[in-house]
Amino acid sequence: MSRGRLVVGNWKMNPATVADATALARTVGAMAHPGTEMGVAPAAIALTAVADALRGSDVSVYAQDVHWEVAGAYTGQLSVSMLRGRAAGSIVGHSEVRRDQGDDDARVARKLGRVLGAGLRAILCVGETEAQFAAEETAAVLKQQIDRDLSDVRGITADRFVVAYEPIWAIGTGRPATGAHASAAARTIRTALRVHGVPADAIRVLYGGSVSAASVAEFAGAAGIDGALVGGASLKSDEFAAIIKAFGG
Ligand code: 13P
């Protein structure tokens, strides 16, 4: 099964200003990326400016998070309707949102249902902690996350659903997983997806966690890995360009 490659930059709470985010978006929009689909996920406040800067380019914009309700008294949150005309979809279940906003799998499931129900694309993040990795519980953790996160959704299609395998211990540490570990995780994820009737062989699985120009070859060559969700290195245009090139190769 041939799946297209996808590289998305998750800018997290960076860069410092909307003007900086707009400038970075322009640089990314001008990058050559034969054979690789590209995306960026700016902070909420920069979504409109980045979407405007990338209009007409083939770089997709994603929100970093979205609320499960359609509207109401949810201070600080974004609804799916607010993404219209700005974003192709949203990251859902990133470990930093799970950590800082208290999202559990039940909330992630509701968010995933909301994003897909709105006709948007979801990039669902799953991954184990350092302690779970050390205890060799990665497969069990991934299976449980997929089972719980998909409990609310039906009719998932490959064009609107992507899974990012992001081992928490590899995020921002400069200590990426090995390609073999990422491949094993991708196999586990697809097996778990199949149980939910998802066309798993067509679903893209990205790797995220300290992907850089130096480490990307490990993942570009890993079986079952179709791209990357890139944090820190996506803020440096040379690094990001090298990562995109590696996956396009
Ligand atoms: P880093 O690439 O900075 O490790 O972050 C990965 C990540 O969390 C992307 O969502």
Angle at 198 (CA atoms; ends 197, 203), nearest 5 degrees:
165
pLDDT of residue 77: 97
Q: Which two tokens stand for residue 16?
A: 């410092």
Backbone phi, psi, residue 125, to 5°:
-100, 130
Residues 6+ apart with CB under 8 A from 111: 65, 66, 67, 68, 90, 92, 93, 103
pLDDT of residue 34: 84
Instruction: Quote the crossing angle between the two packed helices 237-248 and 18-29, to the nearest 10°.
Output: 30
- E strands, 19-80, are 36-41, 59-63
Q: Which atom of ligand 1 is nearest to the CA of 164?
A: 10
Candidates 96, 166, 218, 239; catalytic one: 166
pLDDT of residue 110: 97
The finding on whether 167 has its CB within 6 A of some atom of ligand 1 is: no
Specify whether 218 is catalytic: no
Residue 198 CA, ligand 1 centroid: distance in Å: 26
The finding on whether 185 has its CB within 6 A of some atom of ligand 1 is: no
- List Cα–Cα distances, 109 to 4, 40, 117, 187, 210, in angstroms: 26, 23, 12, 21, 26
Q: Which residues pair with 117 in a beta bridge?
A: none
Count CA within 13 A, CB hemisphere, residue 76. 1
pLDDT of residue 155: 87
pLDDT digit string (tens) for 53-100?
Answer: 999 999 999 999 999 999 999 999 999 999 999 999 999 999 999 999
The finding on whether 227 has its CB within 6 A of some atom of ligand 1 is: no
Below-70 pLDDT ranges, the chain: 1, 249
pLDDT of residue 141: 98
Atom 9 (ligand 1): residue with closest C-alpha?
Answer: 231
Specify whether 166 is catalytic: yes
Please report the domains of the chain, with CATH numbers, ordered by start residue: 5-248 (3.20.20.70)
Residue in 163, 230, 240 to alter for ligand 1 test, most ligand atoms within 8 A of Cβ: 230
In 118-156, where does DSSP find H-type helix?
130-134, 138-149
Backbone phi, psi, residue 196, to 5°:
-95, 10
